[in-house]
């Protein structure tokens, strides 16, 4: 783990660095894609800025409302406690509102943004892996992958559950896995690989698909499937089960899949029928 890029005279976290790199990359790629589509590349600046601001606010608000054990004012300024689906939902609403205000073609713009949504998520998960911030998976069962794929997080920013108020117990008093020594599934690595594979697919298809909305539909379906599946091997971190034993992130992932299927069905209709 490498949670801090530097620690003196002040701390700069590797997660923040990867997020900044992800947004900068998305900005550059989106401007390039807008030029290809004969749209104003300056739109990329507003899109990324609003995505960053709304994403962080939505992620923090969703955490405080659905996952935080109690509301603490200090949590508002903390870099931890961010919920993926909260950021996704608010950022999507704000960016679509921005497109409407600019009178831009919504489906064309969502197609342009789709590859960067995948790459940005990939950079974010690299940051989670470097920070060891608790997004890892369940303990690995015996098998070849136990020593080849699985790993511990001894220097992550999430402390061992055996450490309570600065006192380290020989036997954990809390009945949860201890990833500081136990080999667990590195789910951030799985998601990073899936996200960049999805980016590669979308970046390749962007010049081959001419139905507005189809590229965005593919993103929604595949990103939703990836997030839905990985939740089965991610540590619960006291996240509540909502409906049919599914977590909030899985319900949002299912909604993404359904929305993507609907957009794809609409996009496949003859142009004159749309």
The three-state secondary structure class of 241 is: strand
Chain segment 5-55, per-residue pLDDT in tens: 888 888 888 988 999 999 999 999 999 999 999 999 999 999 999 999 999
Q: Is the peptide bond before 9 cis (omega within 30 degrees of 0)?
A: yes
101 pLDDT higher than 90: yes
| Dihedral angle sign, alpha carbons of residues 119, 124, 129, 131 | positive
Does 258 have pLDDT greater than 50?
yes
What sign results for the dihedral spanned by CA atoms 127, 67, 243, 266?
Answer: negative
Average pLDDT across the chain, whole number: 85
**How far is residue 86's CA from residue 248's CA, in Å, rounded to a whole number?**
10
Predicted confidence (pLDDT) per residue in 188-224, tens digit: 999 999 999 999 999 999 999 999 999 999 999 999 9
Listed residue (118, 93, 116) closest to 106, CA to CA: 93
Residue 146 has pLDDT above 90, yes or no: no
Contact at 8 Å (CB) between 20 and 121? no
The 10s digit of each residue's pLDDT in 147-157 is: 788 998 887 88
pTM for this model (two decimals): 0.87
């Amino acid at each position: 783990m490498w949670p801090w890029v530097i620690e003196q005279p002040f701390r700069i976290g590797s997660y923040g660095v990867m997020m900044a790199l992800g947004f900068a990359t998305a900005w550059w790629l989106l401007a390039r894609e807008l030029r290809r589509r004969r749209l104003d590349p300056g739109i990329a600046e507003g899109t990324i800025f609003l995505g960053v601001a709304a994403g962080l606010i939505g992620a923090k608000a969703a955490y405080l409302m659905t996952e935080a054990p109690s509301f603490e004012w200090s949590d508002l300024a903390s870099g931890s406690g961010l919920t993926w689906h909260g950021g996704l939902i608010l950022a999507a609403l704000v960016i679509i509102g921005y497109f409407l205000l600019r009178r831009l073609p919504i489906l064309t713009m969502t197609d342009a943004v789709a590859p960067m949504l995948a790459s940005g998520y990939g950079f974010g998960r690299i940051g989670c892996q470097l920070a060891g911030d608790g997004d890892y998976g369940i303990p690995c069962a015996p098998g070849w992958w136990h020593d080849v794929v699985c790993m511990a997080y001894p220097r992550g920013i999430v402390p061992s559950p055996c450490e309570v108020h600065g006192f380290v117990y020989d036997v954990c008093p809390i009945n949860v896995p201890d990833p500081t020594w136990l080999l667990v599934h590195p789910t951030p690595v799985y998601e990073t690989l899936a996200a960049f594979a999805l980016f590669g697919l979308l970046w390749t298809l962007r010049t081959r698909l001419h139905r507005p909305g189809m590229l965005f539909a593919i993103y929604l379906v595949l990103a939703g499937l990836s997030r839905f599946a990985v939740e089965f091997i991610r540590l619960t971190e006291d996240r509540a089960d909502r409906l049919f034993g599914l977590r909030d992130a899985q319900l949002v992932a299912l909604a993404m899949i359904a929305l993507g299927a609907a957009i794809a069905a609409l996009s496949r209709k003859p142009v004159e029928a749309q």
